[in-house]
Amino acid sequence: MALTAEGTALTEANRMAQLSAAARAVLLSKALWDRLDVADLDRSMLSWMPAQLTALRALYGVSQAATREYITDYRLAELGDATGPFVAPAFDDRVYAQAMLLAGPARVKALIGKGMAPDEAHRKAFVKFSGIVRRQVLSGGRMAIDATTKEDRRAIGWRRVSDGSPCTFCAMLVARGPIYASAQRAETVAGTGLEYHGHCGCTAEIMYGEWKPTEAEQRYVDEYDRAAKEADEAGEPRTQETVLWRMRANGDFNDSPKKTT
């Protein structure tokens, strides 16, 4: 957790602000989704895509603005000094347009190609699409924390903060602590830490001192250690493929098998 109770509260408030921006983006995207005509996806996409990108760009900016305010307040709470860098990666129209295309019209076409009725394909494709919209909007703030931490010499790194009911993958990343964007660890950490799935409720928190896991986070650490040791005993390398299913089998995660009594 953060060094101070105020810092912890600010992180949670920022997480909720981020999810609010993402929810607004999904609502706007749902309204725009009806512009996609399953009878003529290529033509209807020409008016849908610019409007979808405009909505995404605007809420991406909201996510970054909330993150800027959060980091300022968080530094003041944690360090008694609000000054420091803030780096906000620009919205990349090309990258986000490609993501919208693949998760939107291209997915509708793929479902129809597999034999699904057009109207059903249009309806079902939005479920995954909404997750991608959430992730793209939230990347505004998440990437800002990553990029800012790289430039903040007082930070030891940033860490992933769960929504309290993580999937096994998210719990594993939470268990790693503040290892991301840290200059002294950049060469040894596998991955950037920015692997968020579509409907993920996690956020990120800059750390300015020693990380002390909460009770819940310590359980994630313990579950990871147990699963990793089981992989060792089986003569297997410690990878996501060998560790995650072991965590999931015995852990209390939202993608664990339902326990029966």
Report which DSSP code applies to 251: S
Task: Please give the pLDDT value at position 131.
Answer: 94
Residue 180 pLDDT level (bands cut at 50, 70, 90): confident
The pLDDT tens digits for 113-139 are: 999 999 999 999 999 999 999 999 999
Look at strands 203-207 and 157-161 and give their pairing. Answer: antiparallel
- CA-to-CA separations, 185 to 157, 192, 193, 194, in angstroms, rounded: 9, 11, 13, 16
Given a contact cutoff of 8 angstroms between Cβ atoms, the answer to whether 167 and 201 are in contact is no
The pLDDT tens digits for 194-235 are: 788 888 899 999 999 999 999 999 999 999 999 999 999 999
Same domain assignment for residues 237 and 124: no
Task: Please give the pLDDT value at position 183.
Answer: 52
Same domain assignment for residues 132 and 177: no
Domain hosting 244: range is: 155-261
State the average pLDDT for the chain.
91
**Residue 185: pLDDT over 80:** no
Given a contact cutoff of 8 angstroms between Cβ atoms, the answer to whether 144 and 204 are in contact is no
Same domain assignment for residues 245 and 189: yes
Same domain assignment for residues 129 and 14: yes
Task: Please give the pLDDT value at position 187.
Answer: 45
Please name the residue that has the structure tokens 């003569």.
Answer: 235
Q: Considering the entire predicted model, what is its pTM? A: 0.89
Same domain assignment for residues 188 and 139: no
Same domain assignment for residues 134 and 176: no
Can you tell me the distance from the alpha carbon of 47 to that of 39, in angstroms, rounded to the nearest whole number? 15
Task: Please give the pLDDT value at position 158.
Answer: 94
Please name the residue that has the structure tokens 């996501």.
Answer: 240
